[in-house]
Structure 1
């Protein structure tokens, strides 16, 4: 078969001495269109430098016409076979039925194979999990056995003094704890004995600490349960031996032995025993010596200046018999800032701190804490907590998920399992950043309703109270080891953050007031209809207020009543709900007062404009009438004594504003406050009354 895409059709007779019809310029290569990597933009950008767009469009249209012609030829060539295809499709349904049965059978086999394969996969995963757990238990068992062998070996090497065991302090079970091949080797007493004992006891305490660590990760294992009694016996033996060595070191003022014993007590986290031994061995005899008691229980030999003498003896005892232990126990600490700086500058300290990498730790915590709040604030709408409507404005509950996330993020910065003292400055900065994050992300405000702002006011008040109260106390407690100057700076910064939260509440209040005013202004626009009612008509003077006045304060009435009468919520104004019960009485009063002020101000502006326009119109009409009378030769002294349209309009406004004032008073605004709210309205009343 000849490829029609590559071989040009034969030349026509009338085109014998010219180029073929499908001949293209050298720059136009149709074969490029068939390439799988063909890109139109790159193709056009290459040709635009030397080929005009009109020329390129002409060539493409010609190529399209050629392709259409070839397509028509192909269809015409195989048209007979295409038509005969329908006559050859006989009994297709039966063939489909015959093919469906093996296909269904194949599907069942595949599903069965898949089920067995999934079962095998689950079993394999369970086996691998059990194998991993068994390997972990085996490693822990090896670690426990290795450490225990070290403890046994060290206990065998532990020297003893027969006098240590003659006091009856140890029970027979402890004495026989190491009966199976373990014994205490007696050596000569003296300084070498104490130093050897103290060093071995420190080493045993360190290994016992490792052993407890491994045991904490191997709970409910049989081999650990079998070793618990032996480990407890060894622990009791260590406590007893350590106590005797510490007492011996105190009695002989052996600094090396005391230092090793203190390190051993610190290793097993039993410093209280060391304190108790020092209290009974050193402090108690000194106190009994300074304050001797006779048989009657009274202090013997009390003189006039005895108290001063006792204080002097106590100071001497502390200086002589107690200070040495303080110097020994503080030998591993840095007593000055210069020593701390020198210690932190050591290479060993830097290498040790690299193992913890505090910066990476805080970065992870930062992403965890700030990321949760960022996700909550990124929502396009406020999310209510489902149980936030359980009570009537319970101030102990937050109403929005965003607020709860903020408070939880703030508390997470200072949780015991999160906060690190070395990162206190960073966690404080993160806390202040969280408090300042509410200044961003107002996408929800586009679709917000008044209820949303009510929830925001409640949550802002609650979070600000918590930040300046219990939260601040908790932060100061976490930083109690810092200097008073630092604590004062921390307190001031957190209080400033709480104040920044409180500063957001007026913005939400203003948003609610704006909605209330906008709804009231819709009814106030009916004021302009008074002119059409009385201008150029014969209606009499009005005797009652206009109907629109009752609807001006309807939004205020509804929101005020909903906050007070919960049984009217379902029947209340559409768009206002139980959210107003979250507002305090003071906040509701502020909303009512400010909204009434704004509405009355708009009322005054509309009424004043209406009166001004009416008077100007009346003046113009009067001049026109006077001109007509002058041209007619009538007397100019004759005046119309009837009530003008402007008088009727002003009288109607007078009655309407009176009703508006009564409605304001009915909302709970007292008379002095009313005088303060609507000074503009009062001036307007005076202006109308003069008319």
Structure 2
């Protein structure tokens, strides 16, 4: 009942009045506005001031206050509901809280004792940890100091050992004749254990080389120690002893290596190379071999000293020199190259081929034959370049693996040697030479027929014009052994295509100039203005021969040269050449059309005589004609004379001849039809006008207008004459193989002048 009283004591929540600004808010009984988030009140870091300041930017203060009041009323209502639901527990809550303080005090005492014990134990552990950490630091410092001390002791021992080993080097006076060592050093090195006089020099060199290898190994170890402790005063003090020992080792090792080279002692050389590899002084070994063995040999072959320069200038060709150098390498250098290329020897760090042999050869050529690298003389330059590539290939033959070949090609001296050959300048000179030769021929004002029989013109018996012969010579020069550089094959391919394009442009510009009728044609096009039909036959003949040659033997030769290239390279190369040949072949119809135009122009001159037929039968009493006019025989005379000429018989093939005859017949017949149609139309109009005038006069005089049907008009006579003429013209066309029934203009011509009874059938 108490819960009922409590519930009745609380007034029911009333919804706050909606603000005039709350246009989109829902009623409070349904849901809160979207901007009012109840969950934010439960957040641990909830700040009411920031919450209100954020909402006031877009919610009026009255609306916010009303919403908070409504929320408070809702919470109170929920609280009452909870109390009413669990009223019994709520009433008993006070009875269950009796003597809570004493219970809390009883529980706090053991917890306080436990906290004190944990704090004491923690302090003890912390003290132990600090003590342990200090001990570890002291131990690390001691270990570091011990390591440094051991390093210094090892350094001192190694230095002493190296000096002792150097003193133990066997004394061989012939080995210490180098002026780089002073008397004190010689006496110092001779204080070791001397061998008995009965030992031979080979044993001395081998023993000495083995000892030097051991010294080199210790020196390498000493370098490692000094690199790790270079800042210590002791190491700085030992630096002078290290430098002295290093100098003595280099001198001794150099003398021993040189003595081994002179006597070809493989064991001594092998040990010396291992010593050089141990101290990372491969360049010294390569330089000794270059200066003592290779240089004297190359000096004899390519003198480059003061005496050689002051003497007679030597020829700059290198082929013979390379041949002698190969023999010297085979005779005097192979033994070292064989030793340095042993498997699993560790001698891959040496490169005597590049840094000794090739370096000396390069230097000798630069000093003794500098003109060998000059592209100013392309023929000699190419010969020397190819000889050099063959020499490099010969050197690569001494490499035992692909890795060795790759390493040889990446050496600096190899790269420098290849840079000496300026292929860009060489190609430019060849370009000017090849392209200039063709261009100089193409700018001539007329077609030039090569001298002699067409079957005996140089290497190209089928060609007639010098322009065509020069083109083929230029094309073959691009891929000739005496011109082509394989590494520049892309440039020579482009030059080949440019040559074909230049020839095609020469033909195109000339034919266009002739068609346009330019008397003052551009340079290179004058030939077409002065050329006759017979001259153009040369062009047709040569173009076909050129196309056959380019698409046949020429492209096969190019593909053979580029056979080492992948298929994705070969196919575009082949297609580009075929496309250029096709462009050249496409010029043949234009040449044929030019010949046809010239022949038609001459035939039209004869056709103009038919205009006299009107005057012959106008206002005369001549009877109907029974014979064709004399001019008909002259219409096809230029074409027949052209076909019966020696040049046509020699250079004109059947297919081209048929195309030319058909083209000329069509054009001549077309002109013939136009002239006849115009003549007949004029005659008929004139006849009609005269007829009207005659009838008007008769009506004025009252005379009879009857005209005898047996009288034939002048127009009929003209048409009969023209009909006889076109019949003869058709017979003449048939004699040269033209089917007039297939010519539309001839059919129109027949329909224009043929009598009514013969309109349907063309019969000569």
What TM-score bracket applies, with the shorter chain setting the length? Answer: 0.5 to 0.7
Q: How does 1:382-461 map to 2 (within 5 A)?
A: 382-390=447-455, 396-438=461-503, 439-440=505-506, 441-461=524-544
Q: Match of 2:444?
A: 379
Query: 1:623–1:415: structure 2 CA closer, same or farther, 3 Å change rule?
Result: same
Structure 2 distance, partners of 1:261, 1:658, is 95
Q: In the alignment, is residue 532 of structure 1 matched against residue 598 of structure 2? A: no
Q: Match of 1:178?
A: none
Query: 1:415–1:654: structure 2 CA closer, same or farther, 3 Å change rule?
Result: same
Structure 1 distance, partners of 2:598, 2:456, is 26
Structure 2 distance, partners of 1:430, 1:246, is 44
Q: CA deviation at 1:237?
A: 7.9
Structure 1 distance, partners of 2:714, 2:337, is 112
Q: In the alignment, is residue 254 of structure 1 matched against residue 323 of structure 2? A: no
Query: 1:209–1:383: structure 2 CA closer, same or farther, 3 Å change rule?
Result: farther
Q: Match of 2:591?
A: 508
Gaps of 5+ in 1: 1-155, 162-181, 222-230, 279-323, 335-342, 563-576
Structure 1 distance, partners of 2:716, 2:353, is 103
Gaps of 5+ in 2: 1-200, 207-260, 277-281, 313-321, 362-389, 507-523, 757-764
Q: Work out which of the two has the higher radius of gyration on C-alpha atoms and give 1 or 2.
A: 2
Q: Match of 1:331?
A: 407
Q: CA deviation at 1:382?
A: 1.6
Deviations 1:418-442 (CA, angstroms, capped at 9, x unpaired):
3334443433333332222232420
Structure 2 distance, partners of 1:506, 1:526, is 31
Q: CA deviation at 1:403?
A: 1.7
2:628 aligned counterpart, secondary structure: coil
**Aligned with 2:270 (options 191, 203, 224):** 191
Structure 2 distance, partners of 1:271, 1:445, is 53
Structure 2 distance, partners of 1:623, 1:360, is 88
Given that 2:551 and 2:578 are in contact with CA atoms closer than 8 Å, whether structure 1 keeps it comes out as: yes
**Aligned with 1:603 (options 672, 676, 685):** 672
Q: CA deviation at 1:497?
A: 1.7
Structure 1 distance, partners of 2:716, 2:586, is 48
Q: Match of 1:569?
A: none
Query: 1:185–1:600: structure 2 CA closer, same or farther, 3 Å change rule?
Result: closer
The root-mean-square deviation of aligned C-alpha atoms, in Å, is 4.4
Q: CA deviation at 1:407?
A: 2.0
Does 206-215 or 503-512 show the bigger shift? 206-215
Q: CA deviation at 1:578?
A: 2.7
Given that 1:373 and 1:402 are in contact with CA atoms closer than 8 Å, whether structure 2 keeps it comes out as: yes
Instruction: Compare relative contact order (CA 8 Å, sep 6+) and give the higher one, 1 or 2.
Output: 1
Q: CA deviation at 1:611?
A: 1.2
Query: 1:503–1:662: structure 2 CA closer, same or farther, 3 Å change rule?
Result: same
Structure 2 distance, partners of 1:160, 1:536, is 134
Q: CA deviation at 1:366?
A: 2.4
Structure 2 distance, partners of 1:543, 1:658, is 12
Query: 1:517–1:245: structure 2 CA closer, same or farther, 3 Å change rule?
Result: same
Query: 1:627–1:235: structure 2 CA closer, same or farther, 3 Å change rule?
Result: closer
Given that 2:603 and 2:668 are in contact with CA atoms closer than 8 Å, whether structure 1 keeps it comes out as: yes
Query: 1:640–1:626: structure 2 CA closer, same or farther, 3 Å change rule?
Result: farther
Given that 2:632 and 2:725 are in contact with CA atoms closer than 8 Å, whether structure 1 keeps it comes out as: yes
Q: CA deviation at 1:524?
A: 0.9
Structure 2 distance, partners of 1:358, 1:391, is 36
Q: CA deviation at 1:397?
A: 2.3
Given that 1:534 and 1:649 are in contact with CA atoms closer than 8 Å, whether structure 2 keeps it comes out as: yes
Query: 1:209–1:547: structure 2 CA closer, same or farther, 3 Å change rule?
Result: farther
Given that 1:246 and 1:257 are in contact with CA atoms closer than 8 Å, whether structure 2 keeps it comes out as: no
Structure 2 distance, partners of 1:656, 1:388, is 44
Query: 1:188–1:486: structure 2 CA closer, same or farther, 3 Å change rule?
Result: closer
Structure 2 distance, partners of 1:623, 1:212, is 113
Structure 1 distance, partners of 2:539, 2:686, is 49
Q: Match of 2:714?
A: 645
**Aligned with 2:575 (options 463, 467, 492):** 492
Structure 2 distance, partners of 1:183, 1:356, is 35
Structure 1 distance, partners of 2:262, 2:613, is 114
Q: CA deviation at 1:680?
A: 1.8
Q: CA deviation at 1:250?
A: 6.6
Structure 2 distance, partners of 1:366, 1:508, is 29
Query: 1:535–1:417: structure 2 CA closer, same or farther, 3 Å change rule?
Result: same
Query: 1:407–1:424: structure 2 CA closer, same or farther, 3 Å change rule?
Result: same
Q: In the alignment, is residue 468 of structure 1 matched against residue 534 of structure 2? A: no
Q: CA deviation at 1:667?
A: 0.8
Given that 1:541 and 1:648 are in contact with CA atoms closer than 8 Å, whether structure 2 keeps it comes out as: yes
Does 364-373 or 451-460 show the bigger shift? 364-373
Query: 1:201–1:274: structure 2 CA closer, same or farther, 3 Å change rule?
Result: farther
Query: 1:398–1:208: structure 2 CA closer, same or farther, 3 Å change rule?
Result: farther
Q: Match of 1:689?
A: 754
Q: How does 1:615-634 map to 2 (within 5 A)?
A: 615-634=684-703
Q: CA deviation at 1:594?
A: 0.6
Given that 1:255 and 1:328 are in contact with CA atoms closer than 8 Å, whether structure 2 keeps it comes out as: no
Q: CA deviation at 1:253?
A: 3.9
Deviations 1:557-589 (CA, angstroms, capped at 9, x unpaired):
222223xxxxxxxxxxxxxx4365112221111
2:688 aligned counterpart, secondary structure: helix
Does 359-368 or 493-502 show the bigger shift? 359-368
Deviations 1:145-195 (CA, angstroms, capped at 9, x unpaired):
xxxxxxxxxxx99x999xxxxxxxxxxxxxxxxxxxx97354645732677
2:622 aligned counterpart, secondary structure: coil
**Aligned with 2:625 (options 536, 542, 547):** 542
1:332 aligned counterpart, secondary structure: helix
1:387 aligned counterpart, secondary structure: coil
Query: 1:622–1:446: structure 2 CA closer, same or farther, 3 Å change rule?
Result: same
Query: 1:546–1:391: structure 2 CA closer, same or farther, 3 Å change rule?
Result: farther
Given that 1:403 and 1:459 are in contact with CA atoms closer than 8 Å, whether structure 2 keeps it comes out as: yes
Structure 2 distance, partners of 1:214, 1:582, is 61
Query: 1:526–1:591: structure 2 CA closer, same or farther, 3 Å change rule?
Result: same
Query: 1:265–1:376: structure 2 CA closer, same or farther, 3 Å change rule?
Result: same
Given that 1:242 and 1:261 are in contact with CA atoms closer than 8 Å, whether structure 2 keeps it comes out as: no
Given that 2:720 and 2:755 are in contact with CA atoms closer than 8 Å, whether structure 1 keeps it comes out as: no
Q: CA deviation at 1:599?
A: 0.9
Q: CA deviation at 1:379?
A: 1.4
2:473 aligned counterpart, secondary structure: helix
TM (normalized to structure 1)?
A: 0.53
Structure 1 distance, partners of 2:423, 2:706, is 100
TM (normalized to structure 2)?
A: 0.49
Structure 2 distance, partners of 1:233, 1:533, is 97
Q: Match of 2:741?
A: 675
Structure 2 distance, partners of 1:350, 1:239, is 24
